Every structure is written in structure tokens, then in C-alpha cells.
């Protein structure tokens, strides 16, 4: 029994020694001497520089970055971080590592991607008078601007686009573009100057195809007023309705244009609409409306193409039809005078 107690006391002593050995400091343990004091390393997409502080009792010996668009330099106990402009829409990050001898610590730099939008605005419509306008854009990097016309200038000022135009005395619609470049992001806005009475009313070529399958166009001439389209040929006059706000004219089917004499017989001319293939027509109905909306094209200049629908069909042809009496009826119908497929008004 006595030997048993002696053995038990020996075991308890060993356990006590083992427990005490866990509390002894490791002479080889190393406490890092580096720590980050302050940091604010979130950047917009623009090129910029920021500084963060490091607690380094033994001094800073080296600093490096993981991405080439991000650079870092030592300034005493501070690290100066510079980022290049981010021309992409995607955000990006880089690691900045600071050394003091064998010790190191790192921070992460975050840079936003490029934000640029015209806010859904793809055109600016102005009257013909000289003007300066301030236009809001949404961006976090100042864009590079270029214009395609010498009658307008564009610049960025206080975060807004400042557009300046001169008087439009050409007698036609004129248009140009403002082009924006921000890194890999490219966008543009159409700028148009127009006045309905000065730039829309006037002398036109009426361009059309004789058949829907033709590759060549024919043309006649006409004068557009606020109430009429006056054809030079046969002195026919088509009543129209002007919309100065929409820069368009409306044409009703079954309108009387005037009379002509052929082989001693008098014929009365009305208009009828056909579909694009000439297979369906508005017949002797006077309730259908075609529309010519005017715009600008670099090649054509001021122009407007006839469009609209009747029933399930798209208007593709304006036709001058002859009648034996001044009666827009089937019994008086004598046949077509001229079909005009893809009818387009092009200002002289």
C-alpha cells in the first residue's frame, strides 16, 4: 500500500511539472514590429494619390505593389500610393506590402471603374439661334471631348457639358456630334439645329421608285408650305397638315390634288396609299394618314420619308390616281397616274 501512495505522488508531481512548463515564455517567439496606423485607400477611376501611416519602430525598409497601375513610395513613416486612371468599367484592386527587415504587413487598394453616361440623352435639338447650354452628365472621370462641326464647341466646366452653337442661317437642318472618350468608354450625342419655317418649308426633290423592285430612283420637284405640297409637274397640289413641334407633315388618303387633261379628256387626281409591295391599298377610304417626319442625314441633308400604316399594312407607296369625275368613288376610278414607292422628300 505504501508503495502505491509513493507511485501516485510521483505521478502527480510529473503532471504539475508539465502544467508549469506550458506557462513558460517561448524564447524563440517573435512579435511583429509593423502595424497600420491609418488608411483610406479607396479611389475613384481618376488618377490620384493617397497616403497611409505605418507604425514601424525599426523603420521601413521596402514597399511593393502587386499591380503595375499602382505605385508606392516611402516617405518617413508614411507610404504614398498613386493609382493610374482606370479606363475600364470594371473596378480593380492591388496589394501594397510594407517591410521592416523581415517583418511585413499589407493593405489592399481598391479603385472604382469608369462611370460615364449621358443619362439616356442621345440627341440635343436646338432652334437656329446662337446659344449656350449646360448639360448634366454622370461621370467620375472627366471625358475628352471632340465635335464634328465647326459651328459648335463643347467643353467640361464644373462637371457639366457646356455646349455653344452659332446661328444657323443655312436654310436647312444642320447636325453634328459631340464625341466623348473616357478610357475605353466612347459615346456621342447628336446635336441638331432646326426651325420648321426656315429649315423645313421650301423647295424639295420628291424622290421615289416606279416599282418596288427597282434599284434606281426617279424624281420630281415640289414646294412645301404649311398647308400644301405643290408638285411642279401638272401643277398638282396635295393638302397636308404641318406639325411644327414634331417637325412632320401628315397626308390623308383620298385628297383631291387638281385636274389634268389627257387626249382631250379631263381627269381628276386623288391620292391613294399602297403597301410596300403594291399588293394592298387603302381603296376609296379617306380615313388613313401617312406621315413624313423630317430629319438630317450627312449625305441627303434635310429629308423626310413617307411612313405610316393602314390596317395591318405599312404604307410603302404614294399613288396619284385618276378619276373621270370629281368623285372619289370606285365607279369614277379611271386608273393610276403615278405610283411612288419609297417616297422621300429631299430639300434642295
Q: pLDDT tens, 156-199?
A: 999 899 999 999 999 999 999 999 998 888 889 999 999 999 99
pLDDT at residue 13 greater than cutoff 60: no
**Cβ-Cβ contacts under 8 Å for 75 (sequence gap 6 or more):** 51
Together in a domain, 78 and 125 = no
Residue 243 confidence (pLDDT) above 50: yes
Domain match, 75 and 161 both: no
The reported pLDDT for the residue numbered 10 is 45
**Which pLDDT belongs to residue 25?**
55
How much is the average pLDDT of 99-127? 91
Residue 132: count other Cβ atoms within 10 Å of its Cβ: 9
- Does 240 share its domain with 343? yes
Give the domain extent around 75.
35-111
Q: What is the pLDDT of residue 151?
A: 98
Q: Is the pLDDT of residue 255 over 50?
A: yes
Q: Which pLDDT band holds residue 12 (cuts at 50, 70, 90)?
A: very low
Whether residue 23 lies inside any domain: the answer is no
Residue 5 above 60 pLDDT? Answer: no
Would 125 be classed as within a structural domain? yes
Residue pair 208/233 in contact (Cβ under 8 Å)? The answer is: no
Question: H helices within 228-315, ranges in order?
Answer: none
User: Is residue 190 domain-shared with residue 205, that is, in the same domain?
Assistant: no
8 found inside a domain? no
Q: Would you place residue 223 in the very low, low, confident or very high pLDDT band (cuts 50, 70, 90)? A: very high
CB 295 within 8 A of CB 348: no
pTM: 0.70
In sequence order, the 6+-apart residues with CB closer than 8 A to the CB of 335 are 321, 322
Boundary (domain end) residue, out of 163, 194, 225: 194
Cβ atoms 81, 52 nearer than 8 A = yes
Q: Residue 182 has what pLDDT?
A: 85
CA–CA distance, 111 with 101 (Å, rounded to integer): 29
Residue 233 — pLDDT band, cuts 50, 70, 90?
A: confident
The answer to whether residue 142 sits within a structural domain is yes
Share of the chain above pLDDT 70, in %: 91
Tell me which DSSP letter residue 212 carries. T
pLDDT at 6 over 60: no
Measured CA to CA, the distance from residue 288 to residue 310 in angstroms comes to 6
Specify the CATH number for the domain of residue 45: 2.60.40.10
| In the chain, % of residues over pLDDT 90 | 80
Regarding whether 283 and 221 lie in a shared domain, the answer is yes
> Do the domain assignments include residue 11?
no
Does 100 share its domain with 225? no
* 250: pLDDT strictly greater than 90: yes
User: Is 26 among the domain residues?
Assistant: no
Q: Are residues 243 and 230 in the same domain?
A: yes
* Domain end point (choices 138, 168, 194): 194
Residue range 36-78, pLDDT digits in tens: 998 899 999 989 999 999 999 999 999 999 999 999 999 999 9
Residue 251 has pLDDT above 80, yes or no: yes
341 and 305 together in one domain = yes
Q: Does some domain include residue 165?
A: yes
Q: How many structural domains comprise the chain?
A: 3
**Chain segment 291-325, per-residue pLDDT in tens:** 999 999 989 999 999 999 999 999 999 999 999 99
What per-residue confidence (pLDDT) applies to 32?
Answer: 61
Do the beta carbons of residue 269 and residue 333 sit within 8 Å? Answer: no
Same-domain pairing of 167 and 85: no
331 and 251 in a common domain: yes
User: Which residue shows C-alpha cell 429631299?
Assistant: 346
Domain-terminating residue out of 111, 144, 178: 111
Q: Is residue 230 part of a domain?
A: yes
* pLDDT, greater one: 17 or 203: 203
Residue pLDDT, tens place only, 268-284:
999 999 999 999 999 99
Domain match, 250 and 128 both: no
Residues 120 and 58 in one domain: no
pLDDT of 176: 95
Range 138-166 average pLDDT: 94
Amino acid at each position: 500500500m505504501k508503495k502505491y501512495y509513493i507511485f501516485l505522488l510521483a505521478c502527480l508531481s510529473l503532471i504539475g511539472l508539465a502544467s508549469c512548463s506550458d506557462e513558460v515564455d517561448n524564447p524563440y517567439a517573435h512579435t511583429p514590429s509593423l502595424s497600420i496606423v491609418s488608411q483610406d485607400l479607396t479611389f475613384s477611376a481618376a488618377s490620384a494619390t493617397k497616403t497611409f501611416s505605418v507604425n514601424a519602430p525599426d523603420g521601413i525598409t521596402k514597399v511593393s505593389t502587386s499591380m503595375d497601375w499602382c505605385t508606392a513610395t516611402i516617405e518617413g513613416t508614411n507610404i504614398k500610393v498613386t493609382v493610374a486612371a482606370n479606363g475600364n468599367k470594371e473596378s480593380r484592386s492591388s496589394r501594397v506590402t510594407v517591410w521592416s527587415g523581415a517583418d511585413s504587413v499589407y493593405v489592399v487598394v481598391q479603385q472604382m471603374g469608369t462611370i460615364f453616361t449621358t443619362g439616356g440623352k442621345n440627341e440635343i435639338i436646338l432652334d437656329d439661334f446662337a446659344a449656350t447650354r449646360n448639360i448634366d452628365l454622370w461621370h467620375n472621370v472627366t471625358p475628352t471631348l471632340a465635335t464634328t462641326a465647326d459651328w459648335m464647341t463643347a467643353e467640361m466646366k464644373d462637371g457639366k457639358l457646356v455646349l455653344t452653337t452659332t446661328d444657323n442661317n443655312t436654310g436647312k437642318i444642320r447636325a453634328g456630334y459631340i464625341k466623348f472618350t473616357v478610357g475605353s468608354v466612347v459615346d456621342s450625342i447628336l446635336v441638331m439645329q432646326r426651325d420648321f419655317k426656315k429649315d423645313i418649308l421650301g423647295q424639295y426633290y420628291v424622290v421615289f421608285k416606279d416599282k418596288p423592285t427597282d434599284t434606281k430612283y426617279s424624281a420630281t420637284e415640289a414646294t412645301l408650305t404649311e398647308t400644301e405640297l405643290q408638285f411642279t409637274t401638272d401643277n398638282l397640289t396635295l393638302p397636308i397638315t404641318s406639325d411644327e413641334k414634331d417637325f412632320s407633315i401628315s397626308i390623308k388618303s383620298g385628297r383631291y390634288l387638281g385636274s389634268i387633261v389627257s387626249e382631250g379628256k379631263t381627269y381628276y387626281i386623288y391620292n391613294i396609299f399602297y403597301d410596300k409591295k403594291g399588293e394592298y391599298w387603302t381603296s376609296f377610304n379617306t380615313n388613313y394618314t401617312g406621315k413624313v417626319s423630317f430629319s438630317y442625314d450627312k449625305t441627303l441633308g434635310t429629308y423626310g420619308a413617307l411612313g405610316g400604316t393602314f390596317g395591318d399594312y405599312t404604307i410603302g407607296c404614294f399613288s396619284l390616281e385618276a378619276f373621270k369625275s370629281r368623285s372619289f368613288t370606285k365607279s369614277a376610278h379611271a386608273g393610276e397616274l403615278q405610283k411612288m414607292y419609297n417616297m422621300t422628300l429631299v430639300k434642295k
